[in-house]
Structure formats: structure tokens, C-alpha cells
Structure 1
Amino acid sequence: MSHGLKHKPPNELSNKENETVFYRFMTRFFAKLTAIFLAGIRFFTSFLARQFGGNKLSRKLKTSITIALLVIFTVLTGHTVSAQVGSPPIVPLNQVSIPEPDNIGEFIRNKTAAIALGKTLFWDMQLGTDGNVTCATCHFKAGADSRSKNQLNPGLKAGDRVFNLAGAPNYQLTAADFPFHQLEDPNNIASRVISDSNDIAGSQGVFRADFVDIVPGSDQDNVTPQPDDIFRVQGINTRRVTDRHSPSVIDAVFNFRNFWDGSAQNIFNGVDRSGLRNPEALVLQATNRRRLRDVPVRIKNSSLASQAVAPITTAVETAAEDLPIAPLVIDLSDTDNTVRVRDTNGNLVDSNSADIAASTDAIAETSATTAQSTRRRIIRRIGRKAGKKLLALPPLAKQRVASNDSVLGAFSKAPQPGLNKTYEQMIQEAFQPQWWDSNMVIRVNPNTGRRRFYRRPRNRPLSTIEYTLAEYNFSLFFGLAVQAYESTLVSSQTPFDQFLAGNRSAFTPQQQQGWQLFTRRGCIGCHASTELTAASFRNVSGRGRIGRAPIPGTPVEDTGFFAIGVRPPQEDVALGADDGFGNSLSEARLAQQGKFSQLLGENPPTLDPPLSPSDTILANGAFKTPGLRNVELTAPYFHNGGTLTLEQVIDFYSRGGDFGGLPVLNLTTNEKQAFVAFLRGLTDERVRFQRAPFDHPQLFVPNGHPGNQNAVVNDGKGQATDDLLEIPAVGRNGGNPIPDFLSNFSTTGTTLSQ
């Protein structure tokens, strides 16, 4: 096994990275100071007990004394008493309201139908460019991904193109590979490093290829395979792998933002993940069946919708590469209906009317939506192409659906694959007519991006550059439908929830000890309240989207995002990255730059003291805190997938992380075992056994390629043949658990017949 130690020396760190190092140092310092103070409290209360004639102080009196001393300590140091001040109450999860958009009725007409459409889209393999990859491909096991072959990314975000663990893709991970940062003494962060790798245990998606066009009636797109200089074995392309581990979608509805870096915005714009950050995100609305207009969409509390639409245009996850046309951008004038096409250097390429109808009785309308005289929109084809492709295919045509599926059973064609509904029917049942009901066609010139609107012809089928309104607005339907489905994936029947509801026997004494340690040793500061994440909607809404960290210097951070030293921050800046529009993903930085209101749609919280240009912003290397429910089922762990077991996770926290950022807990063996027992008490058995609402259609998952990292089989097109793992369809009553990470999966060793 080859491992690489490839970190910048301290003198090469940027100012922002040095700020992070300083933050980590001060965090550890403050934690030690707090520990000393708490020890003093214990001594003082014991002293008082002795003064009362040896009798023990009442529990209530001890608590009152402790709180009083903590308040004094807080006043003296100027810091927050606890990360839980202002946090939402800890109640069973079924008592926590699911965040819902206040204007969802403008879009969804039937929630039950939207859930059915969302579940179908989430599991339908036809979505991917090769007809084999969909959302569920990376989220089939407790909402996450338990595949372990061909799951490595060499650390591309760190600029590394070399696979440390195996030397090449298609490697079968083993237990000996974990953790990716191995120490001689796992209890001591300063002990000798045995091995270290910046590789990522991610999720395999599609092969590298350039998108050409969809093929009407086929689940496979017309693509041109391209040589892959990274994901290849002996010159043969393998499936590409994401640069972060896939988090679980179960309970993700409670997150204020989604993705590890928070890039899936709370406001859904109907088009992409960017919310208000992308002012050119518009959909078409039918004011009547013969009149269309461009409109902006603003749907709050819809981060799941923002998240859902991103992978369908990602060249690693589900889609072939689709570069901007030419590359061209379109300028839309507010003063007329003229579209001026320019290249990315601003040079005028063409100028003509975008809205001239092909027939004299056709009516088309565009609307200006901003005060800018000129706007620029990058044109990408694959989003609406996915809609055109899927709407022509029978839903789940290659996958069986159980007749007692909790959502889709009534439409199942069991024992045959598929449903007895069309996608067009499902969209019409779920969504308001103004988003799909029109007899107009939108023709998009593939070379210039110019649009033309005209009445749908009756004597011929549409070409692949002509779109119905439903096809054109597919991203709107996809995002909101998948969000509706994922909003049902709530794991509220855990022993933890029973314990919170008053059933003390739901937790063993060891699990109760683990819960006490979890709250007393600071874990609950990041994994806050019932949702077990400070990034939850309740916590962010209550505490504010940004706040001051309770450490010396009181730097400013995004609520729910922390740098905990899993990897050096320069390898993946995460929240510190650009959003693709020239702005930081960090909302704290946006506030400091005066962009918060413009890009996020509300005023920033008022901080004490007020935010200033000189304040340190904690963003580089900060990741969204994941929830912990069902964590025993979702290995490997952290954003890099570099930790195998819960025991290794607890070792990580006990020693203060791998690269600083955490206080050293120095847990005893007994305490570690209690922590792990508590975490195992967060499992909802419905998730383990795939019972409703966690039942699902059949799925075939690419699981590496026949062979290994040294040899694969060429399929004749320069791509490796697939091993496909079958995940059988299960109905509302569930089935056997899906094998865990590193388990031996049974694969078909072939590709699906097309």
C-alpha cells in the first residue's frame, strides 16, 4: 500500500489558512481552560458538601451552584456559556415540524402525486446519461452509499491526481485501508504517523464522455467517449468517482442548506442549486395556453430541491460533460424582445429576435425580471434535455416495483417492471397547470442558444431541440418532486426518540451514559438538539444564519458549519469556496462584504459586537455538520469517507481530530464504549429493514468493474464493463438489510440489456 504525505508546510499556508490554524489552537486552549474551570467547580461543590456536615448537597443545589459559577466565568471571559444557549428544545423527532415553503401551493397542486413523482424520479435509472445511474445509485443504503469497489477519488480538490491507496481506480477497499490517517497511537494526535492519504472514498457515477444529444425513446444518450487521464486502468476508462463522500438523504429535510459545503441554497430558484445567487435562473410560465413568459422562482425552505437538481447536470454523477455552447452567453434586453448572443469575451456573435413565432397566429411573450438593462445567461443543454428524454420513456421501465410499495404500489405493473402511468400524467397530476399546460413549443438553437416560440405542430413529432413547456420546466418539477419524496424520509422511530418521549428503558444504562457524555463533553454543540446537527432549520432559524464563535477573538462563522481537522483545509476549502458566480459560499463572508441581503433574500443577523471588515471569518475547511441518525448504517464517515467504524470516529474526537480544530477529550475505554452504544441507539429499524417509508423499487447499481486496479475488460468502446449490484424491490413491509460497507455484494458481472 502506498501512502503520500502531501501537505503544505506551515510557512506556505495562506492568511486564511493561518486564521484556521489560529482558530484551532485557540479552540483547544479554551477547551483546556474550560476543563480546568469545571474541575474547580467540582472541587468547590465537594468543599461545600463537607462544610454541611458531610451530607451530600442536593442535586438541585449543586446544579444551581454550577450554573452560577458558569455565568460568572462567562462574564469574565466574554464567551457563551454553552453551544446550546438559544438552541431548540430536545424533543422526539416526530414533534419537530418539517419545514415547508409558504408558497408551495403556487406550484404543487397535489402533494401525494408529487411524492409519487419524486420517488419515481429518485429511483429511475433511466435518468442518467448511460441509463444506469440515478439519485438512488449513491443513496440506496440508509440514504447513503455502501459500495466499496471503484469508490476512490485521488483527491482532485487538493490538486492530486495520484491514487495513494491503490495506484489506480477499480480498487476494492479493505478494512486495513482505514482510517486514511493512521497513527501509531490512535489516542494521541502527536504520535507517529504510520500512513496518510488524501484520497476520497466517494461514489462512482458515469464514464467520461461528451454529451451530443438525447436519443428519442432511448434511455441512453448519444455521447462521445473521451479518454480519461485519471479514472482509467491500462488505458481503459473506469467510472468516475465524486470528490466527497455521499451523505445520507434521510432526515436531510431538516437541514437549512444541503451538500457538505452548503451550496444547495435554502431558496430554490427552479433551475439549479444556487438560489438567488444566480439572477438568470428563470422558468417559463403559461399565462394562458398560447402565451409564455420568463419568470423568476423563489421557493423558501427548499434546500432539498436545490440539492436534487445539481447531480443531473454533473459530469461525474449522472451526466456526460456538456460545456457552454460555443461557449456562448445570452444577453436579454429589458427594453425589447431582442436576444443578443455574445461569446464569453463579450464579442457580439449574432443579433435577432428570440420570440418571432413560426406561425402567424402564435403568441409569445418575454418579461423583464430585473432592473438591469442587460443580463447574461450561460446556456447549458443537459437540464431540459433530461426532461425531454424522460418524458418520452415509461417510468421505471427497467425496474420492478413491489405491488405493496407504500407510494407506488397502486401503479405497479408487477411482476413486470415499470408503472402504469406516464411521466406526463404524473407531472400533470402533481403540478399546477401554469407550469406545463401550453400548446406552445420552445425551440432552442443549439449553436446560438436563441429561442423561438410557436404553436405545437400536429403533423410531426418534435425534434430534440424543440421543447414542450413541461420538458422546458423539467428542473422545476424534478427539484420539487424529489424534495416532496425526501421529506417523507424521516427516521423518527429510534430508541433515542422513545427515550426522549419518556421511555427510560428504551436506552440501556450504557447508552444513557453515552448520551450524558455526548451532552457534557461538547458533542451537542455541533450535533445540536433533536436533529443532532447545528445546521438544522430550527437551529439556524433560532440562532441566526451566522454568529460569533464562542472562542477567543469571537470570529464569525456560518451556523452549523465547522472545520474539525479531518483533513488540512487547503485540500478542500468547502464553505470557503466560490459559488460559481464570483461570491463565497460562506454567508458570513457575504455579510462582511455587504452582499448578504442581495444574494440570500433577507437581512443578516445583528451580531454583538457588530460585524466589521476586520473580523476573522471561519470558512476554509468548514463543512456542514451531518445528522447522526442511522449512523451505524452509513459507513464510511466524514466528508472524505476516510474513517471505517464508529470506534475509529470516537478515537478521532478523543484525540482532538487529525489536523487540529478540536479539544482533546482523552476519553477512557469505558467512555468510548458508551459513546458507540449511544450512537447505535440512533438507528430506526425501519431504515435497517427498508420498511415504509424507506421501501423502494428495484435498482441495479454499478459496483466497479470485473477485474481490479491492475486490469479491467474493455467493452469495445474504451470503457470497462460493469459489475452491477441488484438491490431488490421491497414493499411497505420491508426486507432483508442491505449489506454494509465492505460486505461481499453479489453482482451480475454484466451490463443491463437495453
Structure 2
Amino acid sequence: MSNNNSNSHACDTNPDPALSRSRAHAPESGDCLPPLIDGSCSSPPGAGPLRRQRQRGQAPIKAMLMVAILVGAVGLLWRVLQAQVVDPLAGLSSLKTVVVPGPPAEVLDQFVKDKAAAIQLGKALFWDMKVGSDNKTACASCHFHAGVDNRITNQLSPGLLGGDKTFQLGRPNYTLKPEDFAFTKHVEVNQAQPQLSNVNEVAGSQGVFTRNFVEFGTGKTGDVCASVSDDIFHGGTGFNINGVNTRQVTGRNTPSVINAVFNFRNFWDGRANNMYNGGDPFGMRNPNALVWKLEGGVLRQIQVAIPGASLASQSDGPPLSAVEMSCAGRSFMKLGKKLLGQPPLAGQTIAVDDSVLGPLGSLRNKNPAPTYSELVKKAFRPEYWASPTLIRMSAADEAKFASMDLLPARQFKRSTAMFEVSQMEANFALFFGLAVQLYESTLIANDTPVDRYLEGQTGALNEQQLRGARIFTGTGRCSRCHSGAELTAASFSNVIKQRLRRMPMGDGLEAVYDNGFYNIGVQPTAEDLGVGGIDPFGNPFSETRMAQQGKTHLLGNGFDTTKETTVGDTQRVAVDGAFKTPSLRNLEFTGPYFHNGGKSTLMQVVDFYNRGGDFGDVNRANLDRGIAPLGLTESDKQDLVAFMLALSDDRVRYRRAPFDHPSLCFPQGHKVSSSGALLQDGSTGNGVDNTECISAVGAGGASSGLKPFLNLDPFQR
């Protein structure tokens, strides 16, 4: 009885009479009614002995109920922990879920008549060696290996962007070796200081010899150009050995074109504008960029401003670069004169099952074979090419599209003679830029093990890779900058939300910066200003500084001053030495790493971040606040590298469509005599090229996979 009395509060046997009257019509099930506010419960009237029997069973029932609640709470807590610990990628999504950026359809349709034909034209132009003045240099010459350049001979550039013309690690035509990396070496790998050594050289991409343009060539011959000594004692940049020029090398490492469509701006410094002007990388910053349009039978010049077209802006840069592909002073009109009458990829092999170019290969035996002119007519609207009227041009007209080169142009004399071009030749830059953008927009690597895991295939990642993912999103701080499905804060989807952002700096003060561009302490800021540089028109590359100077009208693509971060005259700005955050996909194949190419393996990259950068203290005024020692263990580092290897797409590894390609031959340094002297070409006086070739690959891909840079193990340092 005492036990029963002790439990009588659970269902009071003597409820308030008024309460009993209110429950007169309750079901006579003998169960307790819903609990009252005070926690007691009531039973239907007349429960009698049944109620007393149930009172005796209340203790175990209540205990079971509490256990059930506890189990439920533990289960909920486990699911929360599982989302944060067991599944570190919770909340992320596959890249397949991201809409591919690009110009709005209604804008693109004003120029493009047949998108598939434009993609075909773009792929042909991208891989055609005749685009280079020397007929040996294609866009693909620097992007043939998972979208990047893995050549190792004559790939060094001195610190030209920092004003240094001297080589420290090697010299022109040097062959890179594993022991050359990292370019900054440390006494203790987890500490930024002290350093054993540092070189400010760049592992870039070899381009063309230093020459001045004279006249355009034909399909069988390159452009006619005059050789100029590149010896530093003759005002050159130092790509010269004992009076013999070597090919110049770019001042930055080559970024990948794969997934580049997801970037809001392109190039390391963002100078490939999100607004395309139809002729060069600089968008609305260039007031002279005009294209020719036929309207009502009248040919007139118009301004073009195509949003979401950074890849088109980027594509129009290298073909006229006096370092990368062209003799100094060549114009797109002259490149059009050279190419438009020629069949695409003449002298190069196209696989019969090439996913885009296959039909062109099958037409090669047709007489006459289709020319670039016919491809342009098929791809673009006639109002941009159909005028029968020839246009008289001058040297000043040729110079309206600006050079992308970062160093001051070598002095050269343009011909003063007037010349005539067709409308198609005059607009060749427009066709080139849009066609290559549309082709590169198909180069999307979104079928990695990580993507498949995010799609629900939980077995796509092993335990080590999951541990690495936990570090990536947690203690490694990687996902702060390599965010979203694109794995970069410089993505279109991220930047379009907010172009300028505020950041607390290391000294506690606040600065404004370009979203997606960060100074991470790879080299001292003064070595390369990155997005802190200046365009050919005296404008800063940085959108933050453009806003500070009141030039937001030149930014376009939805820049809204009423919604964006304001930048006052005295506002601190953190953009010097900042570079675009690259995507991390296919890192296995895209070494060497960083804008200077100074790290050769993924482990070296992880070491860099773990010690808080190499020059964090030196760059403190502009340094991203996330760059600080991480305290990762060796096991943590191994796990993080394993995760990054899960970002490789096997279609890229084996060059399966859309990553298939025609054959390509490219320079790989220069030949030397038995004594080690550079061999000299008798007709030009320049060094003699060593040439390597890769075979055409069809849609089904190759049997062997791509290898890492220098065939190095990604886990080694």
C-alpha cells in the first residue's frame, strides 16, 4: 500500500470536482488523459479497480518512457554529431547541381547563331598551333595536361614582376628537378622561420621568342617577324644565352582551363573581366573596344558589353601576347587574315571519334575542305560578318584592343601603311573570344569521388579520405577560401552575391578586399602585386580600388553600389599581393602549385598552410586572416592529401570526352651541343626547339592516365 500511495501523484484518485465534471464525457478506456499543466494526469471517471491496477504499473511504464525519450535524444545528438564529424561534407553538394555560368541566353543569341557550331569553332581555335605567330604555339600548348602545363625544360622565369631579371635557381633552358622544390625551403617544415633558402623565380610556361611583327603568314608559314635580342644588356628580359635567344617564359604559373567557367574573373589577378568587350580582356575599362555590325545595310561600329563572359575576355589575351603566342604588334585583324582562309588544324590529327571535331576530321578529304571562314559563318549571326564592304584600317585602329602583357611592351614600329580588312577579319577577336568561351564552358570536371559521395554513394570515399575531408572543413580551414561545390570563393555564384567584402586584419583593424582574392604569403607582396596591379588604362585590377576611385560604372555585371560594401577614401584596402583562389579539382595532375609554381607536390602545399604561409609576417598588411599555423599532425597531413586526391575526375585522367583532343606538338626547351652550348637556328638566330608531341585522343579516352608533375608522389615533400 505504501508503494501505491507513493505513486498516487501520477494519476490523482481524488481530482477536483469541477475538473471531474468537465471530463464527464471522456472515454472510459481507463488510460490517463493528457497531462495537466502541473504535470499530473487524470483518468476517466469510474476507472475503479482498473485504475488502481494501472497505478501499480506506473513506475516501470514511466521508466520505460524516460528511457525512450533518452534514447531519442541520444539518437538526435548522434545525427547532429554524425553530420559534423562522421560526415564532414554535410551541407555541401555535387558540382553537378551548380548552374554553369555564362552570358544570358538573350544576350548570347544576339551574336551566336548555332551554339554547337561555335563550340566546334572554339575547340579548333584552342588546339590549332597556327594561332601562334610561329605556327608552333596553340592555346593548348600551355593547357594540354589536365588544363595546365607540365613541361619541365625552359619553364623558369626570373622575378620580372618584382623587377628582378636575374636567375637564381637555374637559367634559360634549365630543366626542373624534384630537388629544386619547394622554391622556399625551411629549417623545420612546420615553421615559416627560419628559412634555409628562397628564390623568387616562377615556374611558368614557355611562349614565343622575342620578335616584332612585320606581316601575317599563311597556313604553311608563320608570321613574318623581326628577331630582337632579349639579352638584358640590350634592354631585354634575360631569355638569352650567350647572344642566342631562348623562348620567353610567363611570369606566373599556368592556371587550369578546366572548370574555369565557374570563375567570376579569370587570370590569377582577375584582369580577364566579367564583362566582355569583344576584343581584349579589359571589358568596359577599354573605351576604344568596338566591333563592326551591319545594320540596315550600313556598317557601323558599336560597343559590346557581354556579362558573364570572363572566359571570352581571357581567351582574347594570349593570342596577342608578345610573351605567350605572338610577335609584338600583331593585331587580331592580322590573325584573322592569316587563319580565316585556312582549314582548321591543318597538319594536326583529329580522332575520328573526337566528341566535337570528329565531323571536321571526316571532311578533310572533301575538296575544298571547310575553312575557318565557313565555321564562323555557321556559328555567328551574319550581321557581324556578311558585309561586302572592305574597311580601311590604320596602325591606330590595330592598337585599340589592348595587350594583356603585364610588363611594359618592348618598343617596336608598326607599319604606317593603311590596309583593308573584311568585316569578318575586323571582328575576328569577337568570334575567337566567344567561341573559345563556349568550348571551355564544356570542360567541366564534376564526376570525382567527392561528387559521387555527395550524391549519396557513401562508398565513394574511404576512411582516410573522410578523415581528410574533416580536416579540410575543420582544423585545416581550407573550406574558408575553397568553398562551395566549385571549391573556390572566386566562383561566379559566390562573388555575384557580394563583390567586395570586409575582413578584420591581424592588427585588429578592418580592410576591404575583392571577394575570392587573397594574399596568403607565398612570396613577399612586392614580388607580384596580383590583383593590386594596374591595367593598361591606368585603372586598378582590384574592384575594391575601382569602387574607392568612384569607377563602379566600369565594373558591370550587376554591381550595385546600394548593396555593396562601401569603400571610403580613407578605408583600408587589402588587395596587394592577392590572387584568385583556384578550384582544387584535379590537383593530382595540375602541379606545380600556386601562382609562382613554387610547390611541386600536394604535401608541400599542405606544409605551406600548416606553417601559416612562407611570408605571413612580411605580408601582414594584406595577409588573409586565415593564414596562421594550423598544428596539423603528420597523420592529419596524409589524410588531407588523400582527400584532395579524391577530387580527381577520371575523365580528365584518361582524356575522355569532353576532355579529348587533337594531336599537338609543342616546344620543350632547346637543343644543345655535346659541349652544352645552345644550338642556333641559322635563319632566325634563335635557339633550336626541342619538340614533343601528344597524339590525338577520341571521346573514349586514352589507355594510360595522366601523371603528376615530375611523376612525383603527391605525399612526398
TM range (shorter): 0.7 to 0.9
Say whether residues 1:623 and 2:569 are aligned partners: no
Distance across 1 between alignment mates of 2:608 and 2:636: 14
Find the residue that maps to 2:134 and give its secondary structure.
Answer: coil
Say whether residues 1:516 and 2:518 are aligned partners: no
Find the residue that maps to 1:272 and give its secondary structure.
Answer: coil
Checking the alignment, whether the CA contact within 8 Å between 1:89 and 1:529 is kept in structure 2 is: no
Checking the alignment, whether the CA contact within 8 Å between 1:129 and 1:219 is kept in structure 2 is: no
Checking the alignment, whether the CA contact within 8 Å between 1:101 and 1:302 is kept in structure 2 is: yes
Say whether residues 1:405 and 2:371 are aligned partners: no
Say whether residues 1:295 and 2:260 are aligned partners: no
Checking the alignment, whether the CA contact within 8 Å between 2:588 and 2:708 is kept in structure 1 is: no
Say whether residues 1:729 and 2:696 are aligned partners: yes
Instruction: Give the match for residue 557 of structure 1.
Output: 513
What amino acid is the match of 2:156? L
Distance across 2 between alignment mates of 1:417 and 1:727: 26
The correspondence of residues 287-326 of structure 1 with structure 2, limited to 5 A, is 287-288=295-296, 290-322=297-329
Closer/same/farther in 2, CA of residues 529 and 315 from structure 1, 3 Å limit:
same
Distance across 2 between alignment mates of 1:214 and 1:633: 36
What amino acid is the match of 2:153? K
What amino acid is the match of 1:393? Q
Instruction: Give the match for residue 672 of structure 1.
Output: 637
Say whether residues 1:493 and 2:442 are aligned partners: no
What amino acid is the match of 2:638? Q
Say whether residues 1:425 and 2:390 are aligned partners: no
Find the residue that maps to 1:250 and give its secondary structure.
Answer: coil
What amino acid is the match of 1:718? G
**Cα displacement (A) at 1:523:** 0.9
Closer/same/farther in 2, CA of residues 624 and 449 from structure 1, 3 Å limit:
closer
Distance across 2 between alignment mates of 1:407 and 1:106: 23
Instruction: Give the match for residue 249 of structure 2.
Output: 241
Instruction: Give the match for residue 709 of structure 2.
Output: 741
2:275 pairs with one of 255, 267, 275: 267
Instruction: Give the match for residue 547 of structure 1.
Output: 501
Q: 1:205-225 deviations in whole A, cap 9, x for unaligned?
A: 000001011134544001001
What amino acid is the match of 2:668? N
1:184 pairs with one of 169, 175, 187: 187
**Cα displacement (A) at 1:193:** 1.7
Checking the alignment, whether the CA contact within 8 Å between 2:589 and 2:706 is kept in structure 1 is: no
Instruction: Give the match for residue 700 of structure 1.
Output: 665
Say whether residues 1:134 and 2:138 are aligned partners: yes
The correspondence of residues 194-205 of structure 1 with structure 2, limited to 5 A, is 194-205=196-207
**Cα displacement (A) at 1:100:** 2.3
Distance across 2 between alignment mates of 1:564 and 1:727: 36
What amino acid is the match of 1:482? V
Q: 1:249-301 deviations in whole A, cap 9, x for unaligned?
A: 0000000000000000001000100011111110000114x521000011110
Checking the alignment, whether the CA contact within 8 Å between 1:534 and 1:560 is kept in structure 2 is: yes
Checking the alignment, whether the CA contact within 8 Å between 1:124 and 1:395 is kept in structure 2 is: yes
Question: What's the TM-score once normalised by structure 2's chain length?
Answer: 0.80
Closer/same/farther in 2, CA of residues 105 and 468 from structure 1, 3 Å limit:
same
Q: 1:352-384 deviations in whole A, cap 9, x for unaligned?
A: xxxxxxxxxxxxxxxxxxxxxxxxxxxxx5221
Q: 1:310-355 deviations in whole A, cap 9, x for unaligned?
A: 0011000000111xxxxxxxxxxxxxxxxxxxxxxxxxxxxxxxxx
For structure 1, the 5+ residue unaligned runs are: 1-53, 68-83, 323-380, 452-462, 745-754
Question: What's the TM-score once normalised by structure 1's chain length?
Answer: 0.76
Instruction: Give the match for residue 113 of structure 1.
Output: 117
**Cα displacement (A) at 1:416:** 8.0
Closer/same/farther in 2, CA of residues 423 and 449 from structure 1, 3 Å limit:
closer
Checking the alignment, whether the CA contact within 8 Å between 1:131 and 1:219 is kept in structure 2 is: yes
Q: 1:517-557 deviations in whole A, cap 9, x for unaligned?
A: 11113211100110000000111123x11111255323111
Distance across 1 between alignment mates of 2:262 and 2:256: 12
**Cα displacement (A) at 1:90:** 2.5
Q: 1:106-143 deviations in whole A, cap 9, x for unaligned?
A: 01111100100000000000000000001000000000
2:686 pairs with one of 719, 736, 750: 719
Q: 1:674-725 deviations in whole A, cap 9, x for unaligned?
A: 1000000000000010000000000001110113995211011211111111
**Cα displacement (A) at 1:410:** 1.5
For structure 2, the 5+ residue unaligned runs are: 1-69, 232-237, 401-416, 617-622, 713-717
Instruction: Give the match for residue 384 of structure 2.
Output: 435
Instruction: Give the match for residue 393 of structure 1.
Output: 342
Say whether residues 1:223 and 2:189 are aligned partners: no
**Cα displacement (A) at 1:60:** 5.3
What amino acid is the match of 1:731? G
Instruction: Give the match for residue 591 of structure 2.
Output: 635
Q: 1:65-91 deviations in whole A, cap 9, x for unaligned?
A: 9x9xxxxxxxxxxxxxxxx9xx99631
Tell me which of the two structures has the higher relative contact order, counting C-alpha pairs closer than 8 angstroms and 6 or more residues apart.
1
Distance across 1 between alignment mates of 2:660 and 2:562: 44
Distance across 1 between alignment mates of 2:562 and 2:473: 28
What amino acid is the match of 1:222? V
Closer/same/farther in 2, CA of residues 608 and 734 from structure 1, 3 Å limit:
closer
Count of aligned positions: 600
Cα RMSD for the two superposed structures: 2.8
Say whether residues 1:173 and 2:176 are aligned partners: yes
Checking the alignment, whether the CA contact within 8 Å between 1:207 and 1:237 is kept in structure 2 is: yes
Closer/same/farther in 2, CA of residues 299 and 567 from structure 1, 3 Å limit:
same
Distance across 2 between alignment mates of 1:475 and 1:602: 25
Distance across 1 between alignment mates of 2:491 and 2:255: 15
Checking the alignment, whether the CA contact within 8 Å between 2:214 and 2:226 is kept in structure 1 is: yes
Q: Is the deviation greater in 382-391 or in 621-630? A: 382-391
**Cα displacement (A) at 1:742:** 2.4
